[in-house]
Amino acid sequence: MITKYISKNISFVFFLEFCILFRITESYGTCSEIRGRCESRIGCSMALHTFGIACDDLTSGISEECTKQCQRALVSLISSENGAGMDFINCECGEGNSMEIRHCEEKKQRVQVCATDVINAWKSMDDPSVVISCTLALWLCEADSSCLTALNYFTENCSNLMKGRQCSSRCNNSMNILYQQKQAQKLHTCNCEGTEIGFDCSKMRKYTDVLCHNKTATYRQVGNHVDGNGATSFYFLTVPRGINDLLIVILLIVLNCLMS
Ligand SMILES: *[C@@H]1O[C@H](CO)[C@@H](O)[C@H](O)[C@H]1NC(C)=O
Ligand SMILES: *[C@@H]1O[C@H](CO)[C@@H](O)[C@H](O)[C@H]1NC(C)=O
Ligand SMILES: *[C@@H]1O[C@H](CO)[C@@H](O)[C@H](O)[C@H]1NC(C)=O
């Protein structure tokens, strides 16, 4: 009974993984049709674009390694809205022996090395206890049109938060709307790895904790500075331990004075 259940499950997983190799009868359309469908949705289109960049070395044959970035791009692509990205993974290159079709088959073949890791990551997506990297969390959100819109509002309305100045009600609103998005759930708990592109993940989290949620317990404000526009900048430091921290505090206060 149990083994039957497991083997059923596994065949589902393998279905995703190997349908490309085993030509499952169910037709999803050709790759170019599916690409067209995906590109007509902004989120899926974004995920496809990210995949193109992150997996370029692999799909073009420069490398045979499925890098972390490429794995994440694939997870984001197959998670994108309404299965649009999933269909893409399952697509068929088409009949014939044209240059385009051969190129498509080659690409698909090369991406196969990613299958196991990607499927495992994708399976754990719905498990709230699984912490993922913030890059992937961001890509998951970007792969969904409404999450992407919320993310864009957030970026627009929270520029002062990103600078550590303030959490305006406009910004806080945008953030709350963003976190209500299903595809943004992992953004709450994701792991800042320091390799995020375009933003400072751990600073962002720190500013959000302190400025928006008043979680000052783990951070301490060591000074503030009012700039020309009357906005206040805060400098935070984790709870001091000993003399070194005292020196840093003094240094920051001195810096503050110099800057004002
Ligand atoms: C965020 O900014 C956009 C565009 O500037 C605006 O349309 C939107 O209403 C803002 N969101 C909030 C919650 O204020
Ligand atoms: C931001 O929104 C949260 C959730 O509604 C609220 O608890 C918090 O007090 C708000 N913070 C600011 C600074 O407005
Ligand atoms: C933040 O929390 C502290 C206690 O931890 C409290 O004294 C302070 O009034 C709070 N500030 C806001 C704006 O809620």
Q: Which tens digits make up the pLDDT trace of 91-141? A: 788 888 888 889 888 988 898 888 888 878 887 777 888 888 898 888 889
CA-closest residue to ligand 2 atom 6:
213
In this predicted model, which residue has the larger pLDDT, 18 or 148?
148
In angstroms, rounded to a whole number, what is the distance separating the alpha carbons of residues 125 and 129? Answer: 9
Distance 157 CA to ligand 1 centre (A): 6
Whether 149 is in the pocket of ligand 1, judged by its Cβ within 6 Å, is no
Is this structure's pTM higher than 0.75?
Answer: no
Which ligand number lies closest to the CA of residue 158? 1
In angstroms, rounded to a whole number, what is the distance separating the alpha carbons of residues 165 and 177? Answer: 21
Q: What pLDDT sits at residue 65? A: 94
CB 28 within 8 A of CB 94: no
Provide the token pair at 239.
Answer: 């709870």
Cβ contacts of residue 195 below 8 Å, gap of 6+?
135
- Name the band, by pLDDT with cuts 50, 70 and 90, for residue 220: low
CA-closest residue to ligand 1 atom 7:
153
Q: What pLDDT sits at residue 221? A: 52
**Mutate which of 213, 215, 216 to test ligand 2's pocket (most atoms within 8 Å of Cβ)?**
213
Whether 170 is in the pocket of ligand 1, judged by its Cβ within 6 Å, is yes
- Name the band, by pLDDT with cuts 50, 70 and 90, for residue 70: very high
Whether 153 is in the pocket of ligand 1, judged by its Cβ within 6 Å, is yes
Q: What pLDDT sits at residue 60? A: 92
CA-closest residue to ligand 2 atom 13:
212
Provide the token pair at 149.
Answer: 């819109």
Q: What pLDDT sits at residue 66? A: 93
Residue 17 predicted with pLDDT over 60: no
* Helix runs in the chain, H state only: 2-22, 31-39, 42-54, 56-59, 68-78, 84-89, 99-111, 115-123, 134-142, 145-157, 159-162, 169-180, 185-189, 201-207, 243-259
In the chain, what percentage of residues exceed pLDDT 70? 70
Residue 89 predicted with pLDDT over 60: yes
Distance 47 CA to ligand 2 centre (A): 31
Residue 198 predicted with pLDDT over 90: no
